[in-house]
Structure formats: C-alpha cells, structure tokens
Amino acid sequence: MFNIFRTMMILWYLLFANTTFAYTRQDTLRGSNGIGRQWWDVQQYQLSVYLDPLTRSISGENVINLKVVSKPYITMQIDLQDSLVLDSVLVFKLDTVVSSYGKEVIITNSKASLTKEGSVWWVQYDFSKWGIGSVQEVKLHYHGKPKVAKSPPWDGGIIWGKDSMGKAWYSVACQGVGASVWWPCKDYQADEPDNGMLLSIYHNILGMQSIANGQAQLDVFKYNYGIWKVQNPINTYNASFYCGNYTTWSDTLMGEKGKLDISYYALKHNEAKAKKQFAVTKQMLHCFEYWMGPYPFYEDGYKLVEAPFLGMEHQSAVAYGNQYKMGYLGTDRSGIGVGTLFDFIIIHETGHEWFGNNITAADVADNWLHEGFTTYTEALFAECAFGKEKAYAYTRGEWKNIRNDVPVIGDYGVRDDGSSDKYDKGSAVVHMIRVLMNDDAKFRQLLRGLNKDFYHKIVTTKEVEDYIIRFTGLNLKPLFDQYLRTTNIPKFEWYIKKKELHYRFTNVVDGFSLPLPVATAKKTATLNVTAEWQNISWKKGGYNIVVSPDFLIREK
C-alpha cells in the first residue's frame, strides 16, 4: 500500500511540476497584464536609437505617451532585457500658471527610482497624483549590448551583418524574444500604441540608409539617419529597422480605399533581381483586398524591404530575405508542385498585414490567429493566380508538416505561443470551415467581416471563434476544441458488411462530428460522422471507399 501511495505521489508531483512549476516569475511578469501594466495604456512611442556596430552596442531614448485607465499602482513595469541597462526614467509634469504674460505651460520633470528584476524594471514614482483618464509622458534612457540573433527570425535579436559585397547590413527580428530585446517598452502584445510610433534610427556609416516602419520624414538617401512615422497602432515586435546599402523605387496601387503608396528597398547590387521578384506585389495586394478587405494601413503605406534574414511581417515594412527564389528558399512546403510557383515570403509575410498586424491576438498563446489564417492566405493567393483546384491541393499538401506535439493554443499569461502547428494545423481549421460553409462568397465575407469588425483590434481566440460561429450558423465549438486544444486527430473507422457501410469517429472530443463526403466509382454519400457507430445501406457501392481529402482526419 505504501509503495503504491508513494508511486502515485511521485507521479502526481511530476505531472504537477511539468504543468505548473515549469513557468517562472519572469514568464508571468512578461506574459500577463500585471499590476505594473494594467493601469496604463500606451498611446504613442517616440523611439530614438543610436547604433554602434564596432562595439555591437546601442543607446537611445524612448518617450512613452500613455493614458491612465485605472487607479495607478505604486510602480510601473518597463520591459528591457538583461543585456541592456535602463539608465534613467524621467517623469514629465505639465503645470499651467498665470503670469503677466497670461497663461503659461511649464514643463518640469522628476527622476524616478528604478529597481531591476530580471528583464523587468520597476519604476517607482508617486503615480497616485495622475488622474484616471489623464495623458502623461515618461522618457526612458538606456544603453547596452543587445542580444545578437543566432538564427533570425526564429532566435531573434539584432543582426550585425554584411551583404555579399562586404558592406554593413543591420536589422532586428524579435517576435519570439520580444521587442524589449532592443528597446524599453511595454512588451505585451495586448497593448499597441493607439497613435502609432515615431522611429529615429542613427548610425555612423556614410552612404548607409536607415529604413523603418511607416512613412519617411526625411530623405534617407541624403542623411546619415532615418526618421519614420507610423500613424496606426503597431505591435512592439513589428517595430524594426533596416540599415544597408539600399536603392529604392516606388509605385502606387488604386485599391479599395484609394491610392496606396508602395515602396521597395533592395540592396543596390540586387536591384535587377528585386524588380523582377517584387513585381508580384500589386497582383498580391489586389488579391488580398478581394478576399480580406482593404489593406489595413493605407496611411503608413506598404514597403517591401530586403533583409539579412528570411522574413518577418514588420508592419508596413515587410522583411524579405528569400534569396530571390520561388517557394520557401526554393522548396515547396506543400510537396505537390504549387509552392514553387510563387515567392512564399512575399505572400506569407504580407498576409500578416491582415492577420497579426490588423487583427492581433491579446496573448501569444492565441497566435494561431496570426499564423493559421496567414498560412491560409498563401492558398488564397494561389487561388487568385492558379485556380481553386491548385489552391486546395496546396493547402492540403502543407498538412504533412503537422507534428501534433502539443496543442496549438498555448498556456495563457506566460508567453507560451503553443505548437508550431499553429501554422499548418491552424490553416487546416480555416480550410475546413470554408468546406463546411460550402459557400465561397459567404466565406469571403467572413474574412472581410473579421478584418472590418476587428479592425486594428486586440482579440482572443474565444472572440474570433464566437464571431465565426455566429456568422456561419454552424456548431464549430467541438471542431475548434478538437484541433486547437488537443493533439488528437480524429480517426475515421469504417467497414462494409452485408451491404451496409458502418462508420464512426474515435479519438475525438465530446460532440465532435463532420459531414464527411465518401465515394466509390458507383456511389457517393455524405456521412454525418459522430463518435457513435452508424450505418447506411451500401448496395452496389463496392468495398473501397474514398474519403474527402478536405478534412484533417485519419482513416482506419
């Protein structure tokens, strides 16, 4: 009895440890809207960064314009990762006084106290004087040697590189590791600066241009720095820069909201290749506007920028590093020949402007909303360019990459972004919803409705699921639970006996069912398959049925 009890206790402890104790306080501080974050909302960032490639260091300042949304806590949480130092935080105060000259506004500042805890800096100040609804400003000064990216964009950080001509080429990619790897901010996906961002990028190399998000505030080819203004809300991980020996050209798109400015930036020696490869841009944008609605950032324009890493969805300044090859670095992720008919990085990273940048998940655990829908935009482009049959074959082909290691949706509040299956399994969910709707016009309206009703919004999976369920009128809750919250793939079991087809699903959540088309050379049927055995007459139907390939299931 004691041995059994001891064994059970050990197993319980290991299970509990793996599910609860695996996360650290740092995970919680960075992944949740804690007491140092929840009382203030970012209105705008004004970031100035000075790059020193010789020492691989940076320094700069960030002015945070914020709105007090609830009773202030005694401290403010600022995120800045370990290799960087927050030198000071100045809190601004505006006073209106009456003098002989009339009313004057006097601006003073006070230096706040700082306490470091890992990658979090606690700012102590008498914030209680700030009224709810008031707009305030703090200025952060910092310096240090930021983390160098080992394998960007997956293992993120700063890229201090050189191009193939031996000239300096710098950038940053930080979605996974977080924007606080290179600048101090509220590094929390649920709080974007409502009024955008001003980025000033300085360096000390002549003849090198500094490109960033939004619209240029000066001619970067005349000055040794770049100042860029983003008017729309932007994820902190999307704020980026590219410093290199660039050339540029521009175009315009007459889109659904009028004239959209398009700019291209490529390394000078790659200009000819870039002009050929980037020529698909207008076709792609028209296609995406047809399916998903107007480009979400007309005010900031659209840029495609050659980058020293594979790619990234940097808002209004999409990073391109696919080596001017078709497919994914010349390979076909679908394995069926369609994937090498287009440049994967241009299409996928631009698709994020709608899903990820326009519609943003509040918690990284729900990032399938970014990656699943965006992976399906590859199929949407394939459909525009090559037809529906090839598009369907392409998206089904990508399902071979699904690992089913852990659930697509991660744990909330701890910066757990779930499985890499959020790409292809998430896309499979979108595709199956389309097939279940069996109405492409309505499916298109669903995508457009999502981007209209959640325009520049922070959302949860539940909000999107509820929206889709209401829009379609379908009972999709079990489907979402099955594919997003478990690693189990439904197994379709069937056999034919005495001229009857018997069938059911196993390995499914409660209430899961699908209207599954099956066929033989002589007979077709749509089976409403559940977890319970059912049967239908199968006279003259034969013994080898073919199951619809448009559902992510296994057959037994």
Question: Which among 424, 539, 418, 440 is positioned nearest to 489, based on CA atoms?
Answer: 424
**Are the C-beta atoms of 338 and 332 separated by less than 8 Å?**
yes
**Are the C-beta atoms of 554 and 491 separated by less than 8 Å?**
yes
What is the bridge-based pairing of β-strands 534-537 and 500-506? antiparallel
Q: What is the pLDDT of residues 398-450, one digit of tens each?
A: 999 999 999 999 999 999 999 999 999 999 999 999 999 999 999 999 999 99
Angle between helices 461-472 and 440-453 (to 10 degrees): 140
Question: Can you tell me whether residue 375 is helix, strand or coil?
Answer: helix
The encoded tokens of residue 10 equal 């050990």
Strand-pair partners of 361: 459
Neighbours of 162 (CB within 10 A): 13
* Alpha carbon distance 320, 307 (integer Å): 5
pLDDT at res. 96: 59
What average pLDDT does the segment 262-291 reach?
98
**Are the C-beta atoms of 314 and 238 separated by less than 8 Å?**
yes
What average pLDDT does the segment 291-312 reach?
98
Strand-pair partners of 143: 59, 85
Whether 102 has a pLDDT exceeding 80, the answer reads no
Measured at the CA of 52, the angle between CA 48 and CA 55, to 5 degrees, comes to 140
What average pLDDT does the segment 29-48 reach?
98
What average pLDDT does the segment 240-262 reach?
98
Neighbours of 496 (CB within 10 A): 17
The encoded tokens of residue 25 equal 């306080």
Strand-pair partners of 173: 157
Strands (E), 69-128: 75-79, 84-99, 102-111, 113-117, 120-124
What band does 9 get if pLDDT is binned at 50, 70 and 90? Answer: very low
pLDDT at res. 521: 85
* Alpha carbon distance 520, 74 (integer Å): 70
Mean of the per-residue pLDDT values for the chain?
Answer: 94
Whether 320 has a pLDDT exceeding 70, the answer reads yes
* Alpha carbon distance 270, 258 (integer Å): 31
Amino acid type, 301: G
pLDDT at res. 451: 98
What average pLDDT does the segment 140-168 reach?
96
269-278, 504-513, 541-550 — which is least confidently predicted? Answer: 541-550
**Are the C-beta atoms of 179 and 312 separated by less than 8 Å?**
no
Amino acid type, 200: S
* Alpha carbon distance 489, 367 (integer Å): 20
pLDDT at res. 542: 83
Helices and strands, number each (H, E), in the chain: 11, 29
